[in-house]
Amino acid sequence: EASKKFYEKNEHDNNELTEEMLENLRLLLLVLNLKIRFRKNFHILKGNHENVLNEWKDGNFPFYKFAREGEMVYSFLEEVYDGALIYLISCFEKALPICAVFSNLVLSHSEPKVPVTKKMIVEYRKKTSVIEWLTWTRNGDAEDFSVETSINNLIKKNPESAVWISGHRPVAQKNALRQNGKLIQIHNPDFENIAFIVPEKTFNPETDIFCVRD
């Protein structure tokens, strides 16, 4: 709220917003460091917040939650740093994958809005609506059976035992089940949940989701 008040006065480099941005940039540096050091084992998927340009195109939409956060971030970076940094961050964001497929589950930022295929995921830059479908879907906006159909498209061996895990929409407890239990949402900002996945093992949301704060 304090950052918003300063921003509305065109004071983009105030102490409150600067502190928030330093926290964000430290996290980005941590992610980049991990990717450089463990590039075969550490991966990050694109979500709806990975839009430093705050653009409204190619499956991206300007971000506004409590305030005009997307616009505030862009303005801060432009004023305090320069356009080169913004461009480099945007290149990183546009290089991120939007989905991960394993033998027993699929991961994406949000619930798939419509059924997706491997070709659609691999070539998502050619059909950028796939970005919207896998990063922006609200509860209740997805087509019926979009998760089950997508899993069947992506996993050929025992797809009936596979599940889809997403974040994006907050849940009240440790998890929330949607799409007849095929979609497991784990995003609880207070709990900071993680899903512990074992290859070839059926994922159990009751025993395989842990709270980092515990």
User: What local confidence, expressed as pLDDT, does residue 199 receive?
Assistant: 81
Give the model confidence (pLDDT) of 32-41 as tens digits: 999 999 999 9
What would the pLDDT profile of 145-184 be if each residue is shown by its tens digit? 999 999 999 999 999 999 999 999 999 989 999 999 999 9
| Residues 174, 159: Cα–Cα separation, whole Å | 24
pLDDT band at 210 (very low <50, low <70, confident <90, very high): very high
Q: What's the pTM? A: 0.90
The answer, yes or no, to whether residue 9 has pLDDT greater than 80, is no
Mean pLDDT of the chain: 91
Q: What is the pLDDT of residue 66?
A: 67
Work out the pLDDT band at 18, boundaries 50, 70, 90: confident
- The number of beta carbons lying within 10 Å of the beta carbon of residue 143 is 14
**61 to 12, 56, 189: CA distances (angstroms):** 22, 4, 22
- Asked whether the beta carbons of 70 and 51 are under 8 A apart, the reply is yes
Which range of 73-87, 108-122, 187-201 scores highest in mean pLDDT? It is: 108-122
Integer CA distances (angstroms), 10 to 2, 3, 68, 75, 79, in order = 13, 11, 13, 9, 10
Which residues, including other chains, have CB under 8 Å from residue 171's CB and lie 6 or more apart? 185, 186, 187, 188
HSE of 119, CA atoms in CB hemisphere, 13 A: 0
pLDDT at 158: 92
Computed over its alpha carbons, how large is the radius of gyration of the chain? 18
User: Model confidence over 68-92: pLDDT tens digits?
Assistant: 888 889 988 998 898 999 999 999 9
Per-residue model confidence (pLDDT) at position 13: 61
pLDDT at residue 12 is higher than 70: no
Q: Is residue 64 within 8 Å of residue 70, measured between CB atoms?
A: yes
Q: What is the pLDDT of residue 157?
A: 92
**Confidence tier at 208 by pLDDT (50, 70, 90):** very high
